[in-house]
Amino acid sequence: MDTQRGLGSRRRLLLGLGAPLLLGAAGLGYTLWPEEEASEKVRTDVAPLNRRFWTALGDVSEAHWLGYGIDESGGGRSVPRPDSRMRLVGVARLKQGTASRIMRDPAHHFEEGPLEGLPAPLKPYAPSSAAWKQSLTYDKVALEEGLGVVPSGTFRFDGIRDLVYFDYVFLYT
């Protein structure tokens, strides 16, 4: 009987000390585990961009872009936030002549528009010698036509290289 009682108290002692130590070690391992930031992974797939921007740009190719939640802290290990806005930002190639055709539209006045807020992982894909042009009226029309979401953002075009830079925020539903 005394042997059993001693065994039970040892188990309680081991559980009392072991559980917190085990939980602490698991928490430390979770915190120190190397992980790539969700917002730092440059994507190259064009299908999502073509679905999202087709009415504004036509088909895009050779895309380099990031897509992430506005409130994302990176790593995807946080409690989901009520803000469901998504940001798509990147550089893509348009079909030959598309950028020039868009910029010649008399309904939109295009002027020089430097890239502001370009995330560091995308800098290698945005030529520093590009002549980026923007139009606030084009942005407004392009973002309202057929996208079916509440968007905001901007497009910049380089007519020489047929490149488009997009920085676009929409309500994810």
Q: What is the pLDDT of residues 35-79, one digit of tens each?
A: 444 447 899 999 999 988 888 898 999 999 998 877 654 444 444
Sign of the four-CA dihedral 102, 106, 107, 110: positive
pTM: 0.68
**Same-domain check for residues 91 and 166:** yes
* Structural domain containing residue 22: 1-34
Residue 117 confidence (pLDDT): 83
Cβ neighbours of 18 (radius 10 Å): 11
Q: Is 59 exposed, middle or buried (0-12, 13-18, 19+ CB in 10 A)?
A: middle
Higher pLDDT, 30 or 119: 119
d(CA 155, CA 72): 23
**Same-domain check for residues 85 and 117:** yes
Over residues 122-137, the mean pLDDT reads 94
For residue 159, the cross-strand partners are none
**Same-domain check for residues 73 and 5:** no
Cβ neighbours of 57 (radius 10 Å): 21
**Same-domain check for residues 104 and 151:** yes
Domains of the chain: total: 2
**Same-domain check for residues 27 and 88:** no
- Asked whether the predicted pLDDT for residue 8 surpasses 70, the reply is no
Residue 142 confidence (pLDDT): 82
Residue 3 confidence (pLDDT): 54
- Asked whether the predicted pLDDT for residue 83 surpasses 60, the reply is no
